[in-house]
Amino acid sequence: MKLSNSRYGFLLNLPGLLLVILWVFLPALLLFLASFFRYDNIRPIVFNGLENYQHLFRDRLFWIGIEKITVFCIGTTVLTSLGGLVLALVLSAIVRGGGLFRSLMIVPWAVPAVVSGIIWKWMFSPDFGVISDLLMKVGLIQTPLSIYSTPSLAMVGVIIADSWTRIPFMGIILLAALLSIPGEIHEAARVDGAGVVNRFLYVTLPLIKGPLLVGLLITTIFSFRTIDIIIPLTAGGPGRATYVLGYYIWDQIVKSLNFGVAAAASVILFFMTAAIALIFVYHLRK
């Protein structure tokens, strides 16, 4: 076969395709089937139809998880996008030593989320955390700041901690997009009298819209399934302040051993992320 033959290309990709089917689609199919069974590790496994889904819709904790994951996802996506954009704009303007700063930018993204959660837990500590200490020294607060006793601050804390790990990824995507813009376009806009703000709004932003949407899509999807940074940082608390949907699924699996309900919640989480992905894909194709 010739390299230009589509069948030859299909045969070359067949091993990878089979691996994806075994590694992704088969477990997803088993998860979907498990959502229709009473599977609680206590009673015999039997088919119960939509009873697991009905249980979810009656469960107050499930709706708390939906509410908290929505707030968390919006906050993380907005903060990550703004932080990544600012970081990309700053790095694109650096001439000397730009490679070094770009390499250092990757460090937070390379840190595992669990480790990042532990780091931020120490930083947010009201007793010896650096954040409370700095805020008190500059006079913004009078008493130590505690995210572990204030529900609203707890959500802000996990959003900041999660965004810290995602801003470098967004920054890399937007930096590559900014560097791909020909300098002649900015020069022409400058000659025509466009200021810094107008050049950003009407030249830079439209030209990086595609990569920006890709970064938003990836950040949103990953935010929806995040629990690894919340577990070591706030453990879903205080109360249920950071009890996101992923944490609800975790509780059903680990604490309640109710795998059927956990599978049903996972299926709902999958369709929620798929719906968001379709919205972004629509705008990308458009």
Question: Percentage of the chain with pLDDT > 90?
Answer: 31
Q: Which residue has the higher pLDDT, 72 or 42?
A: 72
Distance (Å) of CA 238 to CA 117, 146, 150: 16, 11, 7
Quote the pLDDT of residue 284.
77
Domain ranges of the chain: 1-34, 61-285
Burial of residue 187 (number of CB atoms within 10 Å: 0-12, 13-18, 19+): exposed
Residue 1 has pLDDT above 60, yes or no: no
Residues 45-74 as b/e (b if ≥16 CB within 10 A, e otherwise) read eeeeeeebbebbeeeeebebbbebbeebbe
Q: CA quadruple 197, 200, 203, 206: dihedral positive or negative?
A: negative
Q: Return all residues near 156 (Cβ < 8 A) that are at least 6 apart.
A: 75, 147
61-285: CATH class = mainly alpha
pLDDT grade for 3, boundaries at 50, 70 and 90: low
Kindly state the percentage of the chain with pLDDT values over 70.
97
- Per-residue pLDDT of 77-113, as tens digits, reads 999 999 999 998 888 887 776 677 777 778 788 888 8
User: Over the stretch 104-142, which tens digit does the pLDDT of each residue have?
Assistant: 778 788 888 888 888 899 999 888 888 988 888 888 888
Predicted local confidence at residue 237, as pLDDT: 83
* Across 40-62, average pLDDT: 90
> Mind listing the pLDDT tens digit for each residue in 15-38?
888 888 888 888 889 999 999 999
